[in-house]
Structure 1
């Protein structure tokens, strides 16, 4: 394997082993890749935007829609490593075509849903087949593009996700308010047909009929991911340590959330131990550890996970602030975050033009500094009546840094891996993307709510207007972000007059302070990510030596040394 020190701009030589940059290739494969990524991402965003219409039509609470979204995300994350091997075993293009067709059918089932159960099954099915689609997209880029063209193609793939978000905000929101939410998913059925037809013009990627699928590894990965996903998702509602009434069960009073996380980490360790054992025996593995063989590659993964954690957490906190603190509607919130989403799109597409001038190490470090600066700017400018200009500037800066880092780390990881491992790289990207995103939202929610509870209790005890009886009646451990009107409705039977006014004032100050502290916490995490960023590849395009050897800081795992240097 080539050393991870191969720069992002040198992927023509590093990834293909040809030693020369391949001639420019038709952009048709990239069109298919981008449209398919939009098809997969739009569906999830459209469910969120269409929540009001779905709950009315299906006579179901909003939590059912949230459960459907979670089912799709978990299914995709759990089976994506297996999806990469299935594509290699039976042929990437053929598996991709079957998956696109099934995803289109799942979108049709969503559009025709008559019950929450049908919606749940359709969305879970779509998530499972995205596990087949995501690795294929990376394989199509790796086999069709090289050098600077590959870097730009990866930028467009990364940009397709925020582009789908903007389209969902505009189209799905418009459909939901005019012709009905179901037409958003009919549109995805039509897009699936287009992608399926265009895919027949893609060149075939040879199948590996002799490939043996590591089913034990696949099962271990799926169990570990599901345990971690459910554990982190339950932190806010089930309790950080002690079980809340919302917890499905408890163990001697302990919340199941941390127990599931611990179990997931144990299964994860067993998964990697299993992979190393299979590697020593020379047997096929569900995931090739050569993707993470050197210190640089592991640093790239750390940067990717951190940025996705911070980005999704911020994407959760910002709408929370706009809707709860400012009291704006969902559609106003959607339009407020469009500048942030568009800046991610622009940075993802344009960062490739910097690869020839700056090293991945420098670009990643600068990107995390920009992200941290944006979060600090947001933390110190948000208030009840805030300056729109400062917040928009903060959102744009955040999007630029986030988009640049996500595209950069993916391109760096793909450039360092042999072309035959493109499916593993794509699967690893999808796994890190979904797991880090889920953890980011869960941890941000738990941290913000925990901070809110502490601030509310402290402030209530310091205000003489608040009686000890009211403090005793309110369960601060179950506090949540409420608008002034919602809090007044909750406390009206317990407090009135000056006491109610004081409680509303305390709540307004505490929720704003909790959000500020949460944003500053994310800024601190971004600054900590500079450490792995400085271990990313430090060479520019053309700096690769004829004989590739690891840098001093690229310490190869002894277990994978033979594979990493092969």
Structure 2
């Protein structure tokens, strides 16, 4: 039975450890986009390299995050968390020292492996360490500090890029890890789940990651054409089919397919795919638009996006409460439509764009849409399955969002006819950006239609999420112990 009090010295150290660890991954998801133009200039890289700089990390993270959580249950959550922090820091160091684009992309993929080990563990350590009556407050503090990190991330990333250089966006993780690891080893108690004795679904995890990687490669390189692209697309589809076959046949799958027998769970995950595909494409391209076309510095571009995060920090909890009163259908319909309107308003952002009159209105509308939908979406995911599988449902939803984002980053430049050198030309990039935003808005409208047609109010008494303040834009929050269920 967990027996640590939040008010105790050990409790504060545990909270610090989990905040530091999760902040490494959270900062990475918010600052790297700001650095992309500088990375491209320094490494003389084309647009495909910038896409892979984002997606190499997302491929391994999305493919392995469920497996990473189950490793913590089996071998010790603190142990796997610490390994993840060290792994992430070493990969970050390799990113910061990368002499060329190839090394950077490989290092980013390794970063994703570290992220898959530490991300599930940070919140699971809180759940496993604190007394039940302190747990909700500890999760709230962890979430609040994480939100502050998400708000500071773009500002910090822009300052680093304009100052010491883009490499420090990655090197910053090293001192965080040097602080986090000894505190974790000294103050965080080990925990695990001795009841779990099944086999790890390593094959399922590898097939899932392979499907994402091959499809991503085919989309990024599609404009070049050739046999390799065709083989990658076919291989990606084959790996996806094999993943479904393996998960259906295994006695202890990483992702039990019977969880999708819940119509509500399936519907909300379709909405998740639409919403986070649009978010992934928007935040990838908008930072480039502000720097390449509007002439913003990295610091100005990173700071420009803060309103969305601030709005989520301030109002997500209230949006969650409203969703509980009126049901999720209206928030999950209106939220994507507001986000779509915000993205279409970004079409006003061009050369010499004024922040107050051109950029800010779009981000405020987008932020209000995100506030309306993210908390109710998470609550609906958890309420659509049995309490015992809430963590599993949250983990699947989180992985789906990340997968949607990486596919969008790969596909959107292709759909918008954005050439490999487009980001070097303000005129060419602006034209492609104006073709891309309607695609993002259209996907959000599809999500709104799906939500309106399929999402219904959960049964009374369904599980409510403990994490009520959301600021990350790359994925919905993980709930508690994301490996609860048949994950190991």
Q: If the TM-score is normalised by the length of the shorter chain, which range does it land in?
A: 0.7 to 0.9
Q: CA 1:366–1:167 in structure 2 vs 1: closer, same or farther (change >3 Å)?
A: same
Partner Cα distance (1:50, 1:479) in 2: 17
1:413 to 369, 376, 381: 381
Structure 2 partner of 1:468: none
Check whether the contact 1:139–1:426 (CA below 8 A) recurs between aligned residues. no
- Partners of 1:166 and 1:72 lie apart in 2 by 21
Match in the other structure for 1:524: 445
SS at 2:198 equivalent: coil
Q: Deviations over 1:53-81 (max 9, x none)?
A: 66677x65366565444322222223223
Question: Across the two proteins, how many residue pairs are aligned to each other?
Answer: 456
Unaligned runs of 5+ in 2: 465-484
1:61 is aligned to 45
Q: 1:135 aligns with which of 120, 132, 136?
A: 120
1:70 aligns with 2:55: yes
2:256 corresponding residue in structure 1: 288
The one of 69, 81, 88 equivalent to 1:103 is 88
Determine if the alignment matches structure 1 residue 42 to structure 2 residue 27.
Answer: yes
CA distance in 2, matches of 1:523, 1:419: 29
**Runs of at least 5 residues in structure 1 that lack an aligned partner in the other structure:** 1-22, 240-245, 451-476, 488-506, 544-562
State the secondary structure of the residue aligned to 1:40: helix
TM-score scaled by structure 2? 0.76
Distance in 2 (alpha carbons) for counterparts of 1:413 and 1:147: 24
Aligned match of 1:366: 334
The answer to whether the Cα contact below 8 Å between 1:323 and 1:330 also exists between their aligned partners in 2 is yes
SS of 2:115 mapped into structure 1: helix
Measured in 2, the distance between the counterparts of 1:56 and 1:363 equals 42
Could you tell me which residue of structure 1 aligns to residue 284 of structure 2? 316
| Conserved 8 A contact 2:159-2:298 | no
The separation in 1 between residues aligned to 2:164 and 2:259, in whole angstroms, is 47
Instruction: Please give the TM-score of this superposition, normalised by the length of structure 1.
Output: 0.66
Residue 189 in 1 paired to residue 174 in 2?
yes
Change (3 A) 1:212 1:189: same
Aligned equivalent of 2:411: 443
Instruction: Look up the match of 1:276.
Output: 248
Q: Is the 8 A contact 2:162 2:297 kept in 1?
A: no
User: Could you tell me how far 1:184 is from its partner in structure 2?
Assistant: 4.1
Aligned mate of 1:326, from 284, 290, 294: 294
Change (3 A) 1:276 1:238: closer
Q: Where does 1:179-218 land on structure 2 (aligned, <5 Å)?
A: 179-200=164-185, 201-208=187-194, 210-218=197-205
Is the Cα–Cα contact under 8 Å of residues 375 and 519 in structure 1 kept in the other structure?
yes
Confirm or deny that 1:307 pairs with 2:279. Answer: no
Alignment partner, residue 250 of structure 1: 227
Deviations 1:445-502 (A, max 9, x none): 222228xxxxxxxxxxxxxxxxxxxxxxxxxx99957756x67xxxxxxxxxxxxxxx
2:458 matched to 1:537?
A: yes
